[in-house]
Amino acid sequence: MSAFTMTTGRGSPRRSPRGAARRSVVTGVAAWVAALVFVAPILWMVLTALHSETDAASNPPAIFAPLTLDGFRAFFGGSGISPWPPLLNSLTASVLSVLLVLVLAFPAAFALSIRPVEKWRDVMFFFLTTKMLPIVAALLPLYLFAKTVGALDNIFMLAVFYTVMNIPIAVWMLQSFLTEVPRELMEAAQLDGARVLTILRRVILPVASPGIAATALICFIFSWNDLLFARVLTGTIANTAPVFLTGFVSSQGLFLATVSAGALAVSLPVIAVGVAAQDRLVQGLTFGAVK
């Protein structure tokens, strides 16, 4: 996630590399090798998910063993506990926190880029410092707080914590996207008599939407994948999908195929969102929001 720290300043227009570098066989091969290295564990997980438990555990690995859907069957209710409540909980917490994050972080980013407040760099740094404390260090106070207000095992409390966790990242991302919105566009709109709300809606939002989409997806992924908060702060009612997934790891029996099937099922929503928003994401994540 080092990409977040790439642009911080006044958004000096970065040179497009397009056309500059000639495609060569070397870079092509390197890209494929890198892609393969990154995708190999996932392919292995898919394969394991489709094997029987005994084949999944065999050593040397039985790559060509017959395929079966038993792992998925075990995940979707084989243990007697349905995975749907945890999946719904994950969805609630993630979507709710993404909405909250956008609602809170967008105005903040606006005030730090388009109409920078005084000492906006200090404010940005302050946001960053909140991420310097390891989450685990804040866990006990948060747990005690949730216990005192009676909000343990409550999915809405979890959504609020996720919001807090993601706001600094969102502010940083949105700030850099908004900085790249050309001044000239806004000035032109102002000259036409548009007010702030109109400029926001008609000028800034369309131009910055890939950035907003990328920010939303990053925050969604962070909330969706969180295990630490969820495991400590939830119980039987508000437990999320990652917590549910850990329940299949057993000290007395085989579990690799079921866990792989479950991990696949739990990652699917994120992959689906990613594929759906692919174009905007690539724009947004490469910080080419406004080109």
Give the residues lining the site for other proteins (CB under 8 A). Answer: 57, 77, 79-82, 84-86, 88-89, 92, 96, 99-100, 103-104, 106-107, 115, 143-144, 147, 151-157, 159-160, 195-197, 200, 231-232, 234-239, 243, 246-254
What 8-state DSSP symbol labels residue 204? I
CB of 196 to other proteins, least distance (A): 5
* DSSP string across 99-112: HHHHHHHHHHHHHH
Inter-CA distances, 264 with 181, 211, 236, 258, Å: 38, 27, 23, 10
Task: Find the shortest distance in angstroms from Cβ 12 to other proteins.
Answer: 26
Q: Is 46 exposed, middle or buried (0-12, 13-18, 19+ CB in 10 A)?
A: middle
**Which residue's CB is nearer to other proteins, number 115 or number 119?**
115
CB of 163 to other proteins, least distance (A): 8
The secondary structure of 219-237 as a DSSP string is HHHHHHH--HHHHHH--SS
CB of 250 to other proteins, least distance (A): 6
Structural contact between residues 172 and 128, judged by C-beta atoms closer than 8 angstroms: yes
Give the number of other CB atoms < 10 A from CB of residue 196: 14
- Closest distance of CB 8 from other proteins, Å: 23
Comparing CB distances to other proteins, the nearer of 30 and 103 is 103
In the complex with other proteins, the residue whose CB is nearer, 28 or 77, is 77
**22 Rama class: left (phi>0) / alpha (psi -120 to 50) / beta:** beta
Query: Is the Cβ–Cβ distance between 108 and 171 less than 8 Å?
Result: yes
Nearer to other proteins, 179 or 234 (CB): 234
What is the C-alpha to C-alpha distance for residues 56 and 47, in angstroms, rounded to an integer? 9
Nearer residue to other proteins within complex by CB, 100 or 290: 100
Instruction: Kindly state the smallest distance separating residue 287's Cβ from other proteins, in Å.
Output: 25
Of 56 and 124, nearer to other proteins (C-beta) is 56
